Amino acid sequence: MLKTNIITKGFKTAEARWARFGPYYAMFPLEFAFEVVDKYSNPGDYIIDPFAGRCSSIYAGGVLGRNSLGIEINPVGWLFGTVKLHPADKEEVIDRLLEVFGNRKLYQNEIEKMPEFYRFCYCDEVLKFLLSARYNLDWRNNDVDATLMSILLVYLHGKLGDGLSNQMRMTKSMGMNYSVQWWKKNNMITPPKINPCEFILNKINWRFDKGKPQITESYVIFGDSSIELNSITEKAQLNCIKFSLLFTSPPYFSITDYHADQWLRLWLLGGDENPQTLEDKYKRRFSNKLEYYYLLDNVFGLCAKLMKRKSTIYVRTDKREFTFNSTLEILKKHFKKHAVQIIEKPLKIDTKTQTKLYGDKSMKPGEVDIILTNSKK
């Protein structure tokens, strides 16, 4: 019997409570992630996801007793993933919250110079508190700071009352001008009065209420998989490790800019005050066909060296011609001995596809699963 009931039974276990941690654009439906791991691997197997997002694949692997390894280039996805796999101790997170809150008074002058957007989005107490977190939390290197920061990221914006902000979407940060105009038009220029310490303390207490999840050795690396996979391959060879399941969803060609879409969360992590389209490769929308093809070719080629002969490659992607054809061609090239199965996802019935979650309007026409299997040892 599939252990997905850990997840589907609301928030009754620590595993279920942490599983949904972190809103992210184009995330896997949770039950789907658990079903794939359960069907195509066994406890003790190794699983890899080179485009991990908020790490549902890796988390499902860890909960179901698989050793799982993710790679993610976007700090927001990485932080959600790394914290849900290994949250710090609750008491330490609360102590740090109190410190950050205590330091907020230092930032009174600074908030007065901030763009109108921030003043409409957050009340003064929240904005000072956010600046204190932005300047003081060492989220890359310290697990307590990472846990607190990731909880702040979850509640940074959302429906009025659900988060620290004025009315906003949750998965994606809206543009500055758009938001300001929208708040003005809807008579909402006064942000909600919130005591951020009390608000976040409640969220910490709720998240930890059932404890921490039980996870088999599982990690997510912060970086570019086309680089990180080289050292992973070396380490795996040294330790005689081979992977049984590659389970991923690569970025879709020309659809999403994962960094620009998370600009406000990236600001809290120390990024620019204004929304930015980054110049770095793989940190902006994929609009160059060669660069996109090269990334998939490189990453799946490197992954192929890590996989057992008897393994499954499960890739969820976009049905659109260029993304689908390139992905299929590349997978067939690197996994020549595997049999290929293609499952189309009918959009109109499946309301839980990645793109439809949170009522997203920038619809893709559909998704498709490419499954490659080789049952010979």
Ligand X SMILES: C[S@@+](CC[C@H](N)C(=O)[O-])C[C@H]1O[C@@H](n2cnc3c(N)ncnc32)[C@H](O)[C@@H]1O
| Interface contacts to ligand X, rule CB under 6 A | 24, 26-28, 51, 53-54, 56, 71-74, 77, 224-226, 249-251, 258, 282, 295
Closest approach of ligand X to the CB of residue 285, in Å? 11
Closer residue to ligand X (CB): 67 or 74: 74
Closer residue to ligand X (CB): 179 or 248: 248
Closer residue to ligand X (CB): 70 or 87: 70
Closest approach of ligand X to the CB of residue 173, in Å? 15
Closest approach of ligand X to the CB of residue 26, in Å? 4
Q: Can you tell me the distance from the alpha carbon of 309 to that of 361, in angstroms, rounded to the nearest whole number?
A: 41
Taking CB atoms, the residue at the shortest distance from ligand X is: 53
Closest approach of ligand X to the CB of residue 37, in Å? 12
Q: Which two tokens stand for residue 23?
A: 């809103």
Closest approach of ligand X to the CB of residue 136, in Å? 26
Closer residue to ligand X (CB): 120 or 258: 258
Q: Can you tell me the distance from the alpha carbon of 211 to that of 199, in angstroms, rounded to the nearest whole number?
A: 20
Closest approach of ligand X to the CB of residue 283, in Å? 8
| DSSP-assigned letter for residue 167 | B
Task: Give the orientation angle of helix 124-136 with respect to helix 90-102, to 10 degrees.
Answer: 120
Closer residue to ligand X (CB): 173 or 225: 225
Half-sphere exposure of 107 (CA within 13 A, CB side): 20
Instruction: Count other C-beta atoms under 10 Å from residue 99's C-beta.
Output: 13
Q: Which residues pair with 342 in a beta bridge?
A: 370
Q: Cβ-count burial of 322 within 10 angstroms (0-12 exposed, 13-18 middle, 19+ buried)?
A: middle
Closer residue to ligand X (CB): 251 or 271: 251
